[in-house]
């Protein structure tokens, strides 16, 4: 059978980094084994699922470049089929109606707590007679459908990441609920463990790769696979993504949705490359920075770690900066232009924009850094206190005056040689260290002692006819 993998997100929130990483591992492994990667939106929980979340998940996966084959399946469209199968399980006697009320459940939980026992359903409605069931239905009582799980059932599978996994029926919390509460002889809407098995079978899924929080669900699902005589797929459970405290990364950890990463200025290729390292790493000697196509060739589930993967911002930043460094500068300029336009900043020419891009490209970590780093080229910066002290303490008034004299004799805008000549000439005349002069000019252009290459920056400012004006401004304040 052809290999088929899938991502089955629930649209109950924005696309989360954990779901995106699961998508990525499925995508990589599908590529590796020459299979298909499919998408199924698990939107059966009407109270929590929202179309805007489905849209966000679909857009986020596309932005990351994790494209899927075939049309996405919406699970809500298959509820009728799920119900028919639940009915079959009822008829076969593998499932039954459980009439336990909310009050009864609460009482059971309280009793178990009092006796120091873990919460577990006690299967009390398991063996009702036909007439008992009928009379409960006639009384208008509500029920859920439960699937029998024998305490002594043994469930094992060979997890492609974790090796052999064993579960005992008694550790699965009692008979499993297949559908939500309904009245009379209705069958309520199907729940995850039932729907996932039916749909994975319907979609001919051969490999299920999902988070380790689903391990006990897998044990339950295998029981359903067996009851329905479906072929069981291969399972793999990926490690969780952890925050810096070693706890599961959650919404409380500030940035977790793919949108937020995009808005902060991470590139999709850098983010997916970083995500490959959340639980997997290339063999020693191989670069961590590689395209997904290349990684799909060396990626293997057996090399995925079992232990949780700590989210590391520094690593992500480093990878992103490497991608930005290696980007074609014209492409990067196109991104910068959008960000500059949003600020209302105009570039005098395409070449000027490209030169500024080349000047700052290597020091950009996330795209949004471009704002801070390029602002002095668009707006006149205030001179900070350190800069002001430097200008005052080093007696630079006459140097700057001379710089203006020399500048006004050059044709504008100046070129690299002009700038170098001016610096040489001033240092000779005043017998000062070039450093003092360069720092003074830097303060004039940037308002502070830091910034990108001075000469290149000067040329950009000269092209906007702002260099002289900025030096004059310094003379006015010292
Ligand atoms: N809807 C489930 C989730 O989002 C799917 C888990 C699975 O892949 O089976 O966690």
Per CATH, the architecture of 78-192 is what? Answer: Alpha-Beta Complex (3.90)
In this prediction, residues 194-216 reach a mean pLDDT of 98
Structure confidence at residue 253 (pLDDT):
82
Residue 1, pLDDT > 70, answer no
- Kindly give the distance from the C-alpha atom of residue 455 to the centroid of ligand 1, in angstroms, as a whole number: 56
Structure confidence at residue 478 (pLDDT):
87
- Kindly give the distance from the C-alpha atom of residue 299 to the centroid of ligand 1, in angstroms, as a whole number: 22
Q: Which residues line ligand 1 (CB under 6 A)?
A: 8-10, 42, 196, 210, 214
Residue nearest to atom 4 of ligand 1 (CA): 9
Atom number in ligand 1 closest to CA 217: 9
Tell me if domain 78-192 and domain 385-477 are identical in fold: no
Domain boundaries, the chain: 78-192, 251-325, 329-377, 385-477
**Percent over 90 (pLDDT), the chain:** 95
Structure confidence at residue 425 (pLDDT):
96
Atom number in ligand 1 closest to CA 208: 8
Residue 251, pLDDT > 80, answer no
Residue 44, pLDDT > 70, answer yes
Residue nearest to atom 3 of ligand 1 (CA): 9
Share the mean pLDDT of the chain. Answer: 96
- Kindly give the distance from the C-alpha atom of residue 470 to the centroid of ligand 1, in angstroms, as a whole number: 59
Summarize pLDDT for 295-321 with one digit per residue, the tens: 999 999 999 999 999 999 999 999 999
Residue 356, pLDDT > 90, answer yes
The domain made up of 251-325 has a fold known as: 1.10.1160
- Kindly give the distance from the C-alpha atom of residue 349 to the centroid of ligand 1, in angstroms, as a whole number: 50
- Kindly give the distance from the C-alpha atom of residue 435 to the centroid of ligand 1, in angstroms, as a whole number: 61
- Rounded to two decimals, the pTM is 0.93
In this structure, are residues 296 and 319 in contact, taking their beta carbons and an 8 Å threshold?
Answer: no
Atom number in ligand 1 closest to CA 214: 6
- Kindly give the distance from the C-alpha atom of residue 447 to the centroid of ligand 1, in angstroms, as a whole number: 53
Summarize pLDDT for 61-98 with one digit per residue, the tens: 999 999 999 999 999 999 999 999 999 999 999 999 99
The model's confidence at residue 193, banded by pLDDT at 50, 70 and 90, is very high
In this prediction, residues 270-288 reach a mean pLDDT of 95
Atom number in ligand 1 closest to CA 42: 1
Per CATH, the architecture of 385-477 is what? Answer: Orthogonal Bundle (1.10)
Residue nearest to atom 6 of ligand 1 (CA): 8
In this prediction, residues 12-16 reach a mean pLDDT of 96
The model's confidence at residue 250, banded by pLDDT at 50, 70 and 90, is confident
């Amino acid at each position: 059978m052809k290999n088929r993998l899938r991502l089955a997100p629930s649209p109950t929130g924005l696309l989360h980094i954990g779901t995106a990483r699961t998508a990525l591992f499925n995508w990589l492994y599908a590529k590796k084994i020459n299979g298909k990667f499919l998408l199924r939106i698990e939107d059966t929980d009407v109270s929590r699922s929202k179309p805007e979340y489905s849209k966000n998940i679909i857009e986020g996966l596309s932005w990351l470049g994790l494209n899927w084959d075939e049309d996405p399946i919406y699970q809500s469209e298959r509820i009728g089929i799920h119900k028919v199968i639940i009915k079959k399980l009822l008829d076969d006697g593998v499932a039954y109606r459980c009439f336990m009320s909310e009050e009864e459940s609460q009482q059971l939980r309280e009793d178990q707590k009092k006796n120091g026992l873990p919460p577990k359903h006690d299967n009390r409605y398991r063996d009702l007679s036909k007439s008992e069931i009928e009379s409960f239905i006639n009384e208008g009582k509500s029920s859920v459908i439960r699937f029998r799980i024998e305490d002594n059932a043994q469930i094992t599978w060979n997890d492609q990441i974790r090796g052999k996994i064993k579960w005992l029926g008694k550790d699965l919390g009692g008979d499993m609920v297949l559908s939500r509460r309904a009245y009379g002889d209705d069958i309520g809407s199907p729940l995850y463990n039932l729907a996932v098995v039916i749909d994975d079978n319907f979609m001919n899924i051969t490999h299920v790769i999902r988070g380790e929080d689903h391990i006990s669900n897998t044990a339950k699902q295998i029981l359903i696979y067996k009851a329905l005589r479906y072929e069981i797929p291969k399972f793999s459970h990926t490690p969780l993504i952890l925050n810096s405290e070693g706890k599961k990364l959650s919404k409380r950890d500030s940035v977790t949705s793919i949108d937020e990463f995009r808005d902060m200025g991470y590139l999709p290729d850098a983010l997916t490359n970083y995500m490959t390292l959340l639980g997997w790493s290339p063999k020693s000697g191989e670069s961590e920075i590689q395209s997904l196509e290349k990684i799909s060739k060396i990626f293997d589930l057996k090399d995925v770690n079992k232990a949780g993967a700590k989210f590391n911002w520094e690593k992500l930043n480093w990878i992103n900066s490497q991608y930005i460094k290696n980007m074609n500068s014209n492409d990067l300029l196109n991104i910068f232009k959008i960000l500059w336009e949003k600020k209302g900043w105009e570039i005098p020419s395409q070449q000027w924009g490209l030169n500024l891009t080349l000047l700052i490209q290597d020091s950009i970590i996330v795209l949004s850094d471009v704002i801070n780093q390029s602002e002095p080229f668009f707006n006149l910066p205030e001179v900070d206190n350190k800069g002001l002290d430097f200008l005052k303490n080093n007696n630079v008034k006459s140097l700057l005056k001379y710089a203006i004299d020399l500048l006004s004799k050059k044709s504008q805008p100046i070129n690299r040689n002009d700038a170098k000549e001016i610096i040489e000439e001033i240092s000779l005349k005043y017998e000062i260290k070039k450093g003092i002069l360069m720092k003074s000019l830097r303060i004039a252009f940037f308002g502070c002692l830091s910034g990108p290459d001075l000469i290149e920056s000067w040329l950009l400012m000269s092209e906007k006819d702002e260099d002289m004006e900025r030096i004059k401004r310094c003379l006015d304040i010292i």
